[in-house]
Chains A and B, each alone.
Chain A
Amino acid sequence: MIMAAMLVLMMAVIVITGVAGALHPSSNVEVVEPLTLLLGGEFAESNLGTAIEPDGSATVRLIGEQYDFVPHCVRVPAETPVKFRLTSADVVHGFLLPDTNVNTMVVPGFVAEVRTSFVQPGEYEMPCHEFCGLGHHAMWTRVSVVPKDQFAGRGPLERTRCAKQ
């Protein structure tokens, strides 16, 4: 009896935290050719950063490589559905935004897709969280979340990226 109750309780905790935290790790199983990423297609350099879709949602495309995410900083609007699409040009990296539901591995050969929506504007630090080589501990990126109305007023380049040029 006690054993069954414990099992049910533990399972309930897992399901409730998963649903309440909207944890939906990347499970899209979408392949991409890592050797020719930058030569064209979705992950060509001009296509990276934030793009606003016709329905008003945002799509952020990032490439992980030793030892940075490209672009180094992306700007997204708050209170808007945001879809991150990430892949790697070399080894396995990890993408995690603290205090959000965003957490995925970035595996070469696959596109990892995670969806979120930022309530609080602010700077979100993003340390790479999978060992990727001797410079792993220095691999940091930022996601800058700005209020929705301020986002629209910015110029095209400023809207998509926020690294100092």
Chain B
Amino acid sequence: MQNSRSLALCHYWVAFATFLPAVLLGAWQMLMRSPLPAPLDDPDAYYASVTLHGTVMAYVVTTFFAMGFGYAITATSLGRPIRGAAAAWIGFVICLVGTLMAAATVLAGKASVLYTFYPPLLASAWYYLGAFLLIGGSMIWVVLMVVNMTAWKRDNPGRPVPLAMFAITATALLWAWAASGVLIELAGILLPRAFGWSDLIDAALGRTLFSVTLHSIVYFWLMPAYIAFYTLVAEAAGGRLYSDTMGRLTFIMFLIFSLPVGMHHLLADPEHGSGFKFVQSFLTFLVALPTLLTVFTISASLEIAGRHRGGRGLLGGSGRCRGTSRWCWRSACRW
């Protein structure tokens, strides 16, 4: 278990150590764009900063946090050490090398193309290679989540997989699908061009591939928060989860509906027809379903906790809100 714990902690350390400087860069960028005086007013530095800020926030923090969270969830919810810890450490090193490679290239001013790449803009091959290692390395984590879940199922026939493990596996599969767009774009379009093996870039194809990843990154960092809501919050508040099935349904729905969701970033593009855009708009909209299910389930779970603590009447559960939340805090601290 000690190994599993340090695995999770090391991932968190990278996530938060990079998060802080990225926040400061964001604050400086805001000053640059505002009428307030900014410490350094230079467009080259500005776009390098925006690229680093985006790369860290969208890829580094997200990936390392979700991976660390996944290892922690696996060890705690299954109650046993992680299978394949050696592979997990290798994945950690690959992702870290990719991060440093990308960050160094951006800091050297060789990759001011923003984290969304915007081909045919072209950055140094080192930046693309770094991004590829970071995102590709996280696929080891995806495989490990699936391996750990199936191994537990095999050892515990007939028992349902704990909700937290079920949810983190859905998250891993969601990321595998979502990351496929940017990985194909990097390997098929940007890296060959940056290495000089090809001399033209298909901008529309690049945009379309990236759209697969673009919006789903949001779900990659949202899912760990949802897992915490479903599995930790209700318990910390002193109640129980209103419905385990709702939770599982939510994560399956997110996995399915996250597939086409990035397309809505291309609604103003000339390379897709209106029929395709129309269908994709409705598919995008379906994400509202698991979101509303979650709002309902979590509110109901907290109401159960509120009533359990003596709330009465129509709004009793939430009416005793102040008392309840004080209790929540105390329980959360104890936890």
Q: Are A131 and B277 in touch, CB under 8 angstroms?
A: no
Q: Are A7 and B288 in touch, CB under 8 angstroms?
A: yes
Binds B, one of A51-59, A108-116, A145-153, A157-165: A108-116
Q: Which residues of A contact B268 (CB under 8 A)?
A: 25-26, 94, 103-105
B244 contacts the other chain (CB 8 A): no
B86 contacts the other chain (CB 8 A): no
Contact bitstring B114-144, A, C-beta under 8 A = 1, else 0: 1010111100000000000000000000000
How far is B114's CA from A27's CA once the two chains are assembled, in angstroms?
A: 26
User: In the complex, how many residues of chain B place their beta carbon closer than 8 angstroms to a beta carbon of chain A?
Assistant: 30
Q: Which residues of B contact A133 (CB under 8 A)?
A: 121
Contact bitstring A89-133, B, C-beta under 8 A = 1, else 0: 011101000000001111111111100000000000000001111
A19 contacts the other chain (CB 8 A): no
Q: Are B118 and A108 in touch, CB under 8 angstroms?
A: no
Q: Which residues of B contact A103 (CB under 8 A)?
A: 268
Closest Cβ–Cβ distance, residue B176 to chain A (whole Å): 28
How far is B279's CA from A27's CA once the two chains are assembled, in angstroms?
A: 13
Interface residues of B in 118-175 (CB under 8 A from A): 118-121
How far is B292's CA from A7's CA once the two chains are assembled, in angstroms?
A: 9
Q: Which residues of B contact A108 (CB under 8 A)?
A: 120, 203
Given A92-B207, A107-B203, A107-B204, are A134 and B271 also a contact pair (CB < 8 Å)? no
How far is B43's CA from A126's CA once the two chains are assembled, in angstroms?
A: 20
- CB < 8 Å: which of B120, B121, B273 contacts A27? B273
A20 contacts the other chain (CB 8 A): no
How far is B121's CA from A73's CA once the two chains are assembled, in angstroms?
A: 25
How far is B305's CA from A60's CA once the two chains are assembled, in angstroms?
A: 63
B285 contacts the other chain (CB 8 A): yes
Q: Which residues of A contact B281 (CB under 8 A)?
A: 14
Q: Are B120 and A26 in touch, CB under 8 angstroms?
A: no
Closest Cβ–Cβ distance, residue B127 to chain A (whole Å): 15
Closest Cβ–Cβ distance, residue B78 to chain A (whole Å): 33
B79 contacts the other chain (CB 8 A): no
Q: Which residues of B contact A137 (CB under 8 A)?
A: 43
Given A30-B270, A92-B203, A108-B203, are A131 and B288 also a contact pair (CB < 8 Å)? no
Q: Are B204 and A130 in touch, CB under 8 angstroms?
A: no
Q: Which residues of A contact B312 (CB under 8 A)?
A: none
Most buried by B among A10, A90, A107, A137: A107
Q: Are B288 and A110 in touch, CB under 8 angstroms?
A: no
Q: Are A10 and B277 in touch, CB under 8 angstroms?
A: no
Closest Cβ–Cβ distance, residue B29 to chain A (whole Å): 12
How far is B118's CA from A132's CA once the two chains are assembled, in angstroms?
A: 8
Q: Which residues of A contact B292 (CB under 8 A)?
A: 3, 6-7
Q: Which residues of A contact B114 (CB under 8 A)?
A: 131
How far is B236's CA from A68's CA once the two chains are assembled, in angstroms?
A: 57
Given A91-B203, A109-B204, are A29 and B273 also a contact pair (CB < 8 Å)? yes
B residues touching A (Cβ–Cβ < 8 Å)? Answer: 43-44, 47, 112, 114, 116, 118-121, 202-204, 207, 266-274, 277, 281, 285, 288-289, 292, 296
11 CB contacts below 8 A, A to B, read A6-B288, A10-B285, A25-B277, A29-B271, A105-B266, A105-B269, A107-B207, A109-B203, A112-B270, A131-B118, A131-B121
Seed contacts A27-B274, A103-B268, A105-B269; 10 additional CB < 8 Å A-B pairs: A25-B269, A26-B268, A27-B272, A29-B273, A30-B270, A91-B118, A106-B270, A107-B271, A130-B118, A132-B121
